A = this chain, B = another copy of it.
Amino acid sequence: MNRIYFNEVATRDGFQIEPNFIPTDQKIELIDALSQCGYAKVEVTSFTSPKAIPMLKDAEEVMSRIQRNPKVEYSVLVPNLRGAQRALDSKADELNLVMSTSETHNRSNLRMGREESFSALREVIEFINGRIPINVSLSTAFGCPMEGDVPQDVVMNYVSRFDNLGVRGVTICDTTGMAQPVQVKKMIDVLHNQFKHLQLTMHFHNTRGMGLANILASVESGITRFDGSLGGLGGCPYAPGASGNVCSEDAIHMVDAMGYDTGIQLDALLSIAKGLPRIVGHDIPGQVAKAGRIHDLHPEPPCQ
């Protein structure tokens, strides 16, 4: 049976844009629960400036107090050298670096040009010097909400340059839900041809409803690693009212129903997802937590 690996990003990518601070105890309780569900990886938090992302200002405390499951890799987002040192001090299992493949989006999101970002991330990689594995998330790889198309060659060029710096993996991110399945398959074919030795992860958003279709296209193309965000947390500032990150439990439910081994205990995960609206204080886009699994049967309605 083919294995598919999921990386849960809700407590970093999801929480970072929540309007209300989620108490540290609740974050830890959630991560500890997720750690018992069978995830391959959890992106716990971000070692960014607390001024830039106040929601994640408790990164050190969260990392020090979670109960680590040895079967799970605990990854943290790191924007610079200072973040890298904090990640090392917190004994993260993986560093996730991020930059955009679109100049405009990189400037808008990270306040610098792409080459400046690349240099800063190269410094981090050289500083880490193989002490822990590094993943690079490449944003807007399927399109930029301000520039439009991002040529596939541009994406491949960044993958290649990070590959040359010795990173373990790259995540190809559809940051604002612009990817469509034909494009996804083309991208993966090239990635598999040129970078089969890299750990390849796909990160999709459901902004235009295509999140699970793009996961299907990826699975059919041989991809085995995906980011997902519990409940679909994590929005897109460019599309108010639209969905954000692909919902972990919906994606895992589909892949599981298709016959793949996700390693995830879906019932436990759905039980956690059902509690998420209480934690964040609003409804979540995920469907399976509301509708139940395919084979959760319903009683016959009474005669009317």
Interface residue? A288 (CB, 8 A): yes
Given the known inter-chain contacts A210-B212, A297-B147, please indicate yes or no for A254 contacting B181, CB distance below 8 A: yes
A209 contact set on B, CB distance < 8 A = 206, 211-212, 247, 250, 253-254, 286-288
Interface residue? A257 (CB, 8 A): yes
Complex CA gap A182/B177 in Å reads 24
Q: Is the CB of A291 within 8 A of B208?
A: yes
| Most B C-beta atoms less than 10 A away, residue of A177, A217, A294 | A294
Give 1 or 0 for each of A27-42: 1 = CB within 8 Å of chain B CB: 0000000000000000
Which residues in chain A, 182-221, are within 8 Å of chain B measured between CB atoms? Answer: 182, 206-213, 215-217, 220
Interface residue? A85 (CB, 8 A): no
Interface residue? A70 (CB, 8 A): no
Given the known inter-chain contacts A108-B301, A180-B254, A216-B216, please indicate yes or no for A240 contacting B207, CB distance below 8 A: no
A247 contact set on B, CB distance < 8 A = 209
Interface residue? A65 (CB, 8 A): no
- With both beta carbons as reference points, the residue of chain B lying nearest to A246 in the complex is identified as B209
Complex CA gap A244/B107 in Å reads 40
Given the known inter-chain contacts A180-B257, A216-B217, please indicate yes or no for A294 contacting B208, CB distance below 8 A: yes
Complex CA gap A287/B287 in Å reads 14
Contacting residue for A210 out of B254, B286, B295, CB 8 A: B254
Q: Is the CB of B299 within 8 A of A236?
A: no
Complex CA gap A30/B270 in Å reads 39
- With both beta carbons as reference points, the residue of chain B lying nearest to A286 in the complex is identified as B209
**CB proximity of A197 to chain B, nearest CB, Å:** 29
Q: Is the CB of A208 within 8 A of B287?
A: yes
Given the known inter-chain contacts A108-B301, A250-B209, A254-B213, please indicate yes or no for A239 contacting B145, CB distance below 8 A: no
**CB proximity of A28 to chain B, nearest CB, Å:** 28
- With both beta carbons as reference points, the residue of chain B lying nearest to A239 in the complex is identified as B291
A239 contact set on B, CB distance < 8 A = 290-292
Interface residue? A110 (CB, 8 A): no
Instruction: Provide a sorted-by-A list of 12 A–B residue pairs whose CB atoms are within 8 angstroms.
Output: A107-B300, A108-B301, A146-B298, A146-B299, A148-B297, A177-B291, A208-B294, A209-B247, A209-B288, A212-B212, A241-B291, A242-B287
